[in-house]
Chains A and B, each alone.
Chain A
Amino acid sequence: MPVITINGPIGCGSVTVGQMVSHDLDISFVDRLVFTQAARMVGSPVGVLIDKEQRVVRFRDRLGRFVQTMLERSAVAGVSGEPYFGRGIETLPPETFAELSGERPSTSEVDDKVFLEATTRVVHDLYNNGDVVIIGRGANVILANTPGVVHVGLLAPTVMRVETMMQREHLDRDEAEVYVRELDEAWATYFRKFFKTSPTDPARYHMMLNMEKLTAKTAAAAIVHACGDLES
């Protein structure tokens, strides 16, 4: 029951290689389905979970959050009880106006602990079922000390990944460079925040493959070969 995790930065070919391995070994392939199942567990839209992995928190976001927190604190303490702004917490509903009107359910953030627990459970369920290639989502850390798993890290130079994203997403070069840079940053932040490690730490993998030097087919063949060690 081979279980393989493949982790790499955006545009390095994780999905292509993962699908080839899945095909060659005749086992399942799971990519974003990890988060869609975790979202089902926590009862939130999957975008809230994807945001935790891919969202780049910029300074203006942090500033906005800081201001919001200060307003909420002052409201709770009743210090915003000015004549023009009302007197306290009832003037600051936590929901948006659309939510208050019942137009749509709340999409407020999922607690980090709940998110991590749900993601961990989905990955462990996949492991227990066996015969699966899991793409990203920190599965290599979640299953770090689990027997019968091959952890594969992929890497590729930024310029090559920018070219890939230009073709795949129909972006111009400047847009693709920004896209790759922001997702790289979010990827590192995700691993640092939830797993206290770096996604590029070679100690986290059985093998790291440089996709600048290998075709996807060769990389897949190497991974399939490595899985033979699990069975011997």
Chain B
Amino acid sequence: MGCGLLSLSMPSQRPMNRMSISVLGRTMFPDVSLVQVTREDVQRMRGWLNDPEVNTMWYGSDDDGFPLHLGYSPHTILESSHDEWQATFVSEDRKILSVYSADGEHIGEGQLAIEWPLMECQLVLIVGRKDLWHHHYGTMALIKLLDEAFSAQGLHRVWVDVPEYNEHALRMFRHVGFVLEGHMRKTHRKDGEWYDYYAMGLLVDEYSRRRARLMGTTAV
């Protein structure tokens, strides 16, 4: 039954230097944008993934101690040719996008691994900037990725696998409307330990209703 893959890095430590804004009970999400990945972005990704605090919540490291990532290896892709770079970052089957804040700072990365025959994709999201954790940047980036998946790409379903230790990610996906499709016991292995994972999915019509409520706007 599928494989246990992580989908979001959101550790539980709460930084103090940024605050989200709440007006009349409605959270005002910070604006973010999704843009094409540059080599400078990948260099920053490599730095984030080398941070043990980020890496612990992500995929861990391989036998040689290099941090694991999905879609490409930040440690080798920087040495790649133009053609290899294009094949990785300009693909119809895997959309890899950098997440930028409104003030133009690179803060993370999102991916959509698309299976066209099924009209669905696996969503992957990492906010590498630890000082922005828990201030809704992840939620807003998630909404932007879902808009891309459902509106721009015309997909039918988006799914994530979330390990049990990433409780903040579980809450965020539920909040945005993801439905628990399955909870598999001890099927995700990381650093020699077995963990549960939660398979969550969101269909296009479920998202339309949920997005309108979240954003106070019309559905996509």
A32 to B118, CA, bound (A): 15
* Contact (Cβ within 8 A) B1 A107: no
Secondary structure call for the B interface: strand
* A125 & B157 in contact (Cβ 8 Å cutoff): no
Known: A46-B156, A103-B154. A19 touches B116 (CB 8 A): no
A89 located at the interface, meaning its Cβ lies under 8 Å from any Cβ of chain B in the complex: no
Closest to B179 in A: A32
How far in angstroms is the closest Cβ of chain A from B112?
A: 15
User: Which residues of B lie under 8 Å from residue A47 when comparing CB positions?
Assistant: 119, 156-157, 203-204
Q: List the B side residues contacting A105 at CB < 8 Å.
A: 116-117, 119
Count of B interface residues, CB-CB < 8 Å:
24
Q: CA separation between A40 and B1, bound complex, in Å?
A: 11
Shortest C-beta distance, A160 to chain B (Å), equals 22
Interface string of A155-166 (1 = CB under 8 A from B): 000000000000
Q: Give the CA-CA distance A39 to B213 in the complex, in Å.
A: 29
A105 to B184, CA, bound (A): 31
- A32, A105, A129 interface centre (most CB from chain B within 10 Å): A32
Within 8 A of A (CB), among B143-183: 154, 156-157, 159, 179-183
User: Which positions 27-44 of chain A face chain B at CB distance < 8 Å?
Assistant: 27-33, 36-37, 39-40, 43-44
Cα distance A44–B115 in the bound complex, in angstroms: 10
Closest to B196 in A: A28
Across the interface, do B201 and A32 meet the contact criterion of CB distance under 8 Å? yes
Q: Is B49 an interface residue (CB 8 A)?
A: no
| Complex: chain B residue closest to A18, CB-CB | B183
A105 to B153, CA, bound (A): 12
Contacts of B2 in A (CB 8 A): 33, 37
B109 at the interface (CB under 8 A from A): no
The interface of chain B, by Cβ under 8 A from chain A, is 1-2, 116-120, 154, 156-157, 159, 179-185, 199, 201, 203-204, 209, 213
- Residues of A with Cβ closer than 8 Å to B? 15, 19, 22, 26-33, 36-37, 39-40, 43-47, 50, 103-105, 107, 125-126, 129, 131, 169-170
